Amino acid sequence: MNGDYYGFRSNGVVIRNGTVYRDDPARDELALFEDGTMQSFDERQTSSSSLLEQGATNTFSFGPVLVKNGEVIDNFDHVEIDTNFGNRSIQRSNPRTGIGMIAPNHFLFIVVDGRMENYSRGMTLAEFAQLFKELGAAEAYNLDRGDSSTMYFMGRVVNNTLGKNRERGTSDILYIPE
């Protein structure tokens, strides 16, 4: 499924397979660790070298955090996307992509279609956070959304974002090998 769209941004902390590709802290981030855990953090307060020392293998810089320590984050009133989009809110119902962890090495990957009348309106951030909580996530994080929200499973795309019946090109994915 799609990841954080790091190729579209010039900031954020980007670690892939244990290598730091970008170290320009800007927002809440998600780290995946060698021990099968994930943790969200403010990348302005945690160094990339500290993350590597803790065993971080990959980071995703998008957000916001949806569930932390088993509790839904429910104050999304001031969450905005980057200024390159005019700094508009991402609160409304939209297609969504997210990752959650129930326990180490036990993850949820959720993609929600949206903005399509008579099919799917999408979800608000609060609804998306609640869904992860209801499915047992102790941690959950919002990834790139909108046209990019795509899940590929068992050899095919399993959703239909915006009714286009095709994938949008993305600069980043989460991939679980067979």
Total of domains in the chain: 1
On whether the CB atoms of residues 115 and 147 are closer than 8 A, the answer is: no
Tokens of 75: 């104050």
Per the omega criterion (within 30 degrees of 0), is the bond before 177 cis? no
7 falls within a domain: no
Q: Which residue range is the domain that position 106 belongs to? A: 63-163
Is 155 a member of any domain?
yes
What DSSP element (H or E) covers 68? strand 65-68
Residue 130 lies in a domain: yes
The 10 Å Cβ neighbour count of residue 51 is 23
Residue 54 pLDDT exceeds 70: yes
Tokens (6 digits) for 5 = 């769209």
Quick: pLDDT tens for 59-110.
Answer: 998 888 999 999 998 777 766 555 544 445 567 788 888 999 999 999 999 9
Q: For 113-122, how does the pLDDT look when each residue is reduced to its tens digit (9 = 90+)? A: 888 888 888 8
pTM to 2 decimals? 0.85
